[in-house]
A and B are shown apart, each in its own frame.
Chain A
Amino acid sequence: DGGITQSPKYLFRKEGQNVTLSCEQNLNHDAMYWYRQDPGQGLRLIYYSQIVNDFQKGDIAEGYSVSREKKESFPLTVTSAQKNPTAFYLCASSIRGSEAFFGQGTRLTVV
């Protein structure tokens, strides 16, 4: 079945560590997105990519990095520079400008 998969579902990070969240899609979508969701808040765009080997910063890119080496994959690294990384992270993909399909999310907790 076609879809978008995020892993892991839950992730724990020690302070000062980098962690990478995985996002894979087999929908043949050009565009992929990473959002952060905090409790009681909406989605904030971290990074997005419209095409392979290209990506743009969203509204809250500081402390995060991404790569887009393959169409299917858009991993997000939460670096130690991100001071408040505990949140729910959502990955999405779309045909450019069309509806976005979401993964089930990764809940990251700093311990």
Chain B
Amino acid sequence: GEDVEQSLFLSVREGDSSVINCTYTDSSSTYLYWYKQEPGAGLQLLTYIFSNMDMKQDQRLTVLLNKKDKHLSLRIADTQTGDSAIYFCAESMSYQKVTFGTGTKLQVIP
């Protein structure tokens, strides 16, 4: 079955870049997503990438996909205290359910 793994915790200083990593097992994944969860709230979609892409940039966010190694990363440039949250990686195939990783808690130190 599908499996998505992430490290549990990341701490960075304000202004530095954050890199959150994710590995997945299903080579048939079509879409890969990054979600953000603030305390006591639902998840918000940050960005996504199709499996036929290597990179996607959206303002401070850069997503890198290494399909050969089944590795996805999210880079947040100039990390701010408002970026402190839990970040979830997720994957899906067309017309199949979405599978989420365990989430990485990002702590930004002022």
Contacts and interface: CB of A to CB of B under 8 A. Distances in A.
Interface of A: 6, 31, 33, 35, 40-43, 45, 48, 50, 88, 90, 92, 94, 96-105, 107
A3 to B, nearest CB: 10
B101 A42 contact: yes
Contacts of B40: 88, 105, 107
B42 A48 contact: no
- Say whether chain A's binding surface is mostly helix, strand, loop, or mixed: strand
A13 B78 CA distance: 44
Contact of B100 (A40, A42, A98): A42
Interface residues of B, number: 28
Interface stretch (B11-19, B56-64, B67-75, B86-94): B86-94
B102 A104 contact: no
A102 B101 contact: no
Given A42-B102, A105-B42, A97 B95 contact: yes
Nearest to B101: A42
A108 to B, nearest CB: 13
B48 A96 contact: no
A101 to B, nearest CB: 7
A43 B95 CA distance: 20
Nearest to A107: B40
A61 to B, nearest CB: 13
A94 B98 contact: yes
Contacts of A96: 94-96
A33 B97 contact: yes
A33 B93 CA distance: 16
Given A42-B103, A43-B103, A100 B42 contact: no
Contacts of B8: 40
* Those 3 A-B pairs whose CB atoms lie nearest each other, nearest first: A42-B102, A102-B42, A97-B94
Contact of A35 (B96, B100, B102): B100
Contact of A100 (B6, B90, B94, B105): B90
A97 B98 CA distance: 7
A35 B88 CA distance: 13
